[in-house]
Amino acid sequence: MNPVLFWIFASLMLVFGAMVVLLRNPVGSALSLVVSFLCLAALFVGLDAFFIGIIQVLVYAGAVMVLFLFIIMLLDLKTEQRRKLNLPAFLGGLAVVAAFVALLVRLLSGFEPGTVAASALGQRVDDVRGVGFALFNDFNLPLQVVGALVLVATVGVVVLSKHRLK
């Protein structure tokens, strides 16, 4: 991937990811998350994972975020009122996140990618074919289990959405 494109999309992804956390209006958070996911899909495409990038756009940025926005509109959420801050919990959360970032930087600074890094491919990538082949041969049973999971989730949503459980 072109380094300039990587920096553009990675920084956009992180900025809009931060806006999800910082904005007080849930609609703004959801729209920022859509942009963040689109930049993530661009990074996937830059890693030659075209199929995953397209799924990311269709499923995440499309279906899932529309569902989120739909629920936000359905519940008619307003901008959060500013409440009294639970200071110990807030500081504790910040400390945990800071510790996580410090650990990440420490781990990655001792991690040498060396010559493993590959430049962008010049050849054709049979991406969908490779994923499909692995999916339907090596991972056939997990695929069917996931199918059952999606069915169970569908039934579960219908049951949860019923007004009164008998």
Partner 1 sequence: MITLNHYLLAGGLLFATGFAGVLLRRNILVIFMCLEMMLGAANLSLVAFSRFGANAAVPDYNAQVLVFFIITVAAAEVAVGLAIIVALYRLRQTTHVEDINLLKF
Q: What are phi and psi of 101, to 5 degrees?
A: -65, -40
Q: How far is the CB of 134 from partner 1 (least distance, A)?
A: 5
The nearer residue to partner 1, 127 or 166, going by C-beta atoms, is 127
Q: Is 136 helix (H, G, I), strand (E, B) or coil?
A: helix
- State in angstroms the smallest separation of the CB of 4 from partner 1: 10
- CB-based contact 6:47 (threshold 8 Å): no
Q: Minimum distance from CB of 102 to partner 1 (Å)?
A: 10
Centroid of chain to Cα 54 = 13
- Do residues 75 and 56 lie in contact, with contact meaning Cβ atoms separated by under 8 Å? no
Q: Which is nearer to partner 1, 123 or 166 (CB)?
A: 123
